[in-house]
Amino acid sequence: MKISTALDHVDSGQLALPEFQRGYVWRRDQVRALMNSLYRDDPVGTLLIWSTEADSKHMRGISKSDGRATVELLLDGQQRITSLYGIMRGCAPPFFQGNASSFTDLYFNVDTEVFEFYGPVKMSADPTWVSVTRIFLTELDDLVGDIQPAEVDPGRALTHMKRLNSIQSIGNRVIHVDEITGRERTIDEVVEIFNRINSGGTKLSAGDLALARICADWPHAREALMAIQSAWSEHGYEFSLDWLLRCVTAVGTDQARFPGLTSLTVDEFVAALTETEKHIDFLLNLVGDRLGLDHDRVLGGRGAFAALAWYVHDHGGNITDHSQQQAMLYWYLHCLMWGRYSSSVVTKLQRDLEAFEEGGIDGAIEELKNWRGNLEVRTSDFDWSTTGARFYPILYMLTRTQGGKDLLTGIDLKQNLLGRQSQLHLHHIFPKALLYRAGYDRKQVNSLANMCFLTAASNLKISDSDPAEYLPEIAATQPDSLESQWITTDSDLWSIDRFPEFLADRRERLTRATNEFLNSLLSGSEAYEAEVAATVSIAAIPTAEEDLSEDTTQILGVVSRHDLTPPEVNGEISDHETDEPIATADLVWADGVQPGLTEPVAFVPSVDGSTASALSTAGYLVFTSRTALVWYLEQLLGTDIDGDEIVGDPSQI
If you average pLDDT over every residue of the chain, what do you get? Answer: 82
Q: pLDDT over 70 for what percent of the chain?
A: 82
Q: Which of 187-201, 276-290, 533-547 has the lowest mean pLDDT?
A: 533-547
Q: Helix H segments across 524-588? A: 550-561
Instruction: Determine the Cα–Cα distance for residues 568 and 405; give it in Å rounded to an integer.
Output: 32
Of the pLDDT bands very low, low, confident and very high (cuts 50, 70, 90), residue 539 is: very low
Higher-pLDDT residue of 604 and 352 is: 352
CB 481 within 8 A of CB 454: no
What local confidence, expressed as pLDDT, does residue 421 receive? Answer: 42
Domain assignment of residue 194, yes or no: no
Length of the chain: 653
| Helices assigned H by DSSP within 235-265 | 241-253
| Residues contacting 164, CB < 8 A, separation 6+ | 110, 130, 135, 140, 143, 144
Distances (CA, A) of 437 to 395, 432, 544: 27, 9, 18
- Highest mean pLDDT (candidates 174-178, 208-212, 248-252): 248-252
336 shares its domain with 408? no
Of residues 121 and 273, the one with the higher pLDDT is 273
Q: Is 586 helix (H, G, I), strand (E, B) or coil?
A: strand
Q: Are residues 17 and 164 in the same domain?
A: yes
- Do 346 and 444 fall within a single domain? no
Q: Is the pLDDT of residue 162 over 80?
A: yes
User: For the chain, how many structural domains are there in total?
Assistant: 4
Sequence-ordered list of residues with C-beta below 8 angstroms from that of 36, at least 6 positions apart, any chain: 42, 115
Confidence class for position 273, pLDDT limits 50, 70, 90: very high
Do 275 and 418 have their domain in common?
A: no
Which residue did the predictor score with more confidence, 423 or 118? 118
Residue 189 in domain: no
pLDDT at 491 over 50: yes
Q: Which of 542, 571, 595 is the last residue of a domain?
A: 542
**If DSSP codes are grouped into helix, strand and coil, which group holds residue 103?**
coil
Looking at the fold, whether 342 and 246 belong to one and the same domain comes out as yes
Measure the CA–CA gap between 311 and 328, rounded to whole angstroms: 10
Task: Check whether residue 530 and residue 554 sit in a common domain.
Answer: no
Least confident of 74-78, 149-153, 436-440, 645-649: 645-649
Which domain, by its residues, includes 607?
A: 550-652
Higher pLDDT, 189 or 127: 127
Mean pLDDT, residues 641-652: 40
* Beta pairing partners, 571: 585
Query: Is 485 found in the same domain as 566?
Result: no
Q: CB within 8 A of 370, min separation 6: which ones?
A: none
Task: Report in angstroms the alpha-carbon separations of 19 from 209, 215, 596.
Answer: 10, 10, 11
Q: Give the chain's largest Cα–Cα span.
A: 100
- Let me know if residue 269 belongs to a domain: yes
Sequence-distant (6+) residues with CB within 8 A of 142 are none
Note whether 524 and 556 are same-domain residues: no
* Percent of the residues in the chain that have a pLDDT greater than 90, as a whole number: 40
212-251 pLDDT, tens digit per residue, is: 778 777 777 888 998 999 999 888 888 888 889 999 999 9
> Is residue 623 included in any domain, yes or no?
yes
Residues 173 and 96 in one domain: yes
In this structure, is residue 513 part of a structural domain?
yes
Entry pTM? 0.72
pLDDT at position 641 is: 56
Tell me which of 261-265, 313-317, 414-418, 492-496 is least confident. 414-418
Same domain, 385 and 532: yes
Predicted confidence at residue 638, as pLDDT, reads 61
Whether pLDDT at 597 is above 80: no
Domain endpoint, select from 512, 542, 572: 542
- Tens of pLDDT, residue by residue over 440-462, are 987 888 889 999 998 888 888 99
Specify if 330 maps to a domain: yes
Domain final position from 370, 401, 431: 370
Instruction: Work out the average pLDDT over 159-186.
Output: 87
Task: Out of 300-314, 358-372, 414-428, 432-446, pick the least confident.
Answer: 414-428
d(CA 177, CA 86): 21
pLDDT score of 648: 39
Phi, psi of 73 (to 5 degrees): -95, 120
Distance CA 64, CA 387 (A): 56
Would 195 be classed as within a structural domain?
no
Q: Is residue 199 part of a domain?
A: no
305 & 417 share domain: no
Q: What angle do CA 438, 444, 447 make, to 5 degrees?
A: 135
Question: Which of 452-456, 484-488, 597-601 is predicted least confidently?
Answer: 597-601
Mean pLDDT of 364-371: 95
Please give the single-letter amino acid code of residue 142. Answer: D
DSSP-based three-state secondary structure for 16 = strand
| 466 has a pLDDT exceeding 50 | yes
pLDDT of res. 60: 42
User: Do 533 and 436 share a domain, yes or no?
Assistant: yes
pLDDT of 521 reads 94
The predicted-structure confidence for 82-120, as pLDDT tens digits, reads as follows: 999 999 999 988 767 677 888 889 999 999 999 999 988
